[in-house]
Structure 1
């Protein structure tokens, strides 16, 4: 025990943060959704507090991951500037909405959203790559992705990265650009949660997730170039679909 903190109790959260960030670095998605799913489904954290915790951590991990992608030249700067402002606006709106509704009422809807994202990831893994071409729908995608990211505790990567890839964007620069722009999104969402919820949502678990995420974050740019995306995407889809669907089932029958 150091400074009154039981380090052994932090280890599961460090492991979750590390694993989620390793997947996020390779796919440009899933850090927020993996953490939010586990916090809400298995630890009973209210959706708004889980989202606040995850986005506080992501403010730091996306900064480190974004620096890695810049270093490895994985950024499409034109796409970056078209995504970041709509994303910040959508994120602030989503955080405000989630902070001002009853948590128990929100939970089934949030988890149903996460289930649909899991199924979509499985579809993407099965469907495979598309021919590279310039995406056309960007700003509305950033707005929707930012809103759903805050409201669901994660979703910027799955919504934005997947839809850009569907439109034919290059996987490497799409992952790097979405990861880097996410720093500005998470900073905006965290500030909104602090304004609406205060600092009470940032708890002991947040520290463990932060430590694990920061350890893994510098590997993001490296993994985006070298790790096959389809198997990881399939595993994330299975995890999200099973855990989120189970929570929705419990809410409906319980």
Structure 2
């Protein structure tokens, strides 16, 4: 048990460093690593979301205190996001782990590609009211639960690309994510339960320990090279997961 806690504390530390530096990809990073270790998608997503209740709560509070949150935008994201997250968790809980693994891997590869695209093509900030926020929250919550992560890369990047000021997009997305994550975790608890407590404990400890260092990294490192590196790692891990899951079908 201690070995598991230490291993996933390292995973949680690394994932939080990434998330703290670029404002996204905690769930995608942690889920990619967990699936590469053979953990079923539903269990990986449940564990990551349970840990994220603590990390997103702290992150949302910090953004609120720094004036990066627009509560009207938070509500427009959080309510449909909670609905989508609950539906996604319910659907994932009913699917066989090995059957959904290829699709989860493809989804995570897509998230990695999205992060890479945003790193190479950063949109210019424009002060415009965001559109279709409800649909974005609904879809973001559903895909986040099914894929084990992706709320930040999808929602925050879409808001920024649509003209929302980046700090308001990131801060509001982070605060809304707390409510979405809590709903997803409660749904998993009611359906498949939360079994891997050493994994969850490790992710929480690693994330909490990384938080102050991540804030420092945010100030010191440029976003673009880090986003490119993270995107490449996520795509490679997901590709490995995909090939492993398709191995029996391909005669591997």
| 1:131-171 deviation digits (Å, cap 9, x = unpaired) | 32322121100000000000001011111011111112111
| 1:57 pairs with 2:51 | yes
Change (3 A) 1:77 1:34: same
Counterparts in 2 of 1:225 and 1:91: CA distance versus 1, 3 Å: farther
Question: In structure 2, what is the Cα distance between the partners aligned to 1:193 and 1:131?
Answer: 37
Which of 119, 123, 133 is matched with 1:129 structurally?
Answer: 123
Match in the other structure for 1:69: 63
Aligned to 2:155: 160
The aligned residue for residue 134 of structure 2 is: 139
State how far apart, in whole Å, the 2-side matches of 1:213 and 1:107 are.
Answer: 25
Q: Give the Cα–Cα distance (whole angstroms) in 1 for the partners of residues 247 and 199 of structure 2.
A: 29
User: How many pairs does the alignment contain?
Assistant: 247
Q: CA deviation at 1:208?
A: 0.8
Aligned to 1:96: 90
2:79 is aligned to 85
* d(CA) in 1 for partners of 2:17, 2:172: 17
Aligned residues of 2:125 and 2:160 also touching (Cα < 8 A): no
Stretches of structure 2 that go unaligned for 5 or more consecutive residues are none
Distance 1:22 1:72 in 2: 19
Deviates more, 1:105-114 or 1:116-125: 116-125
Contact 1:114-1:244 at 8 Å conserved across structures: yes
Length-normalised TM-score, structure 2: 0.91
Instruction: Tell me the CA shift for residue 188 of structure 1.
Output: 0.3
Structure 1, 227-236 or 183-192: larger mean CA deviation: 227-236
Residue 4 of structure 2 contacts residue 198 of structure 2 at CA under 8 Å; is this kept in 1?
A: no
Q: How far apart in 1 are the matches of 2:107 and 2:193?
A: 26
Rounded to whole Å, the distance in 1 between the matches of 2:189 and 2:60 is 23
Task: Confirm or deny: 8 A CA contact 2:4 2:199 kept in the other structure.
Answer: no
Name the structure 2 match of 1:181. 176
User: Cα offset for 1:218?
Assistant: 5.5
Question: What residue number does 1:248 align with?
Answer: 242
The answer to whether the 8 Å contact 1:176/1:224 transfers is: no
Farther off after superposition, 83-92 or 227-236:
227-236
Equivalent residue for 1:193?
Answer: 188
Name the structure 2 match of 1:216.
210
| C-alpha displacement of 1:225 | 6.6
| CA distance, structure 1, for counterparts of residue 74 and residue 225 of structure 2 | 27
Distance 2:213 2:178 in 1: 16
Q: Name the TM-score, length of structure 1 as normaliser.
A: 0.91
Cα separation, 2, equivalents of 1:224 and 1:55 = 23
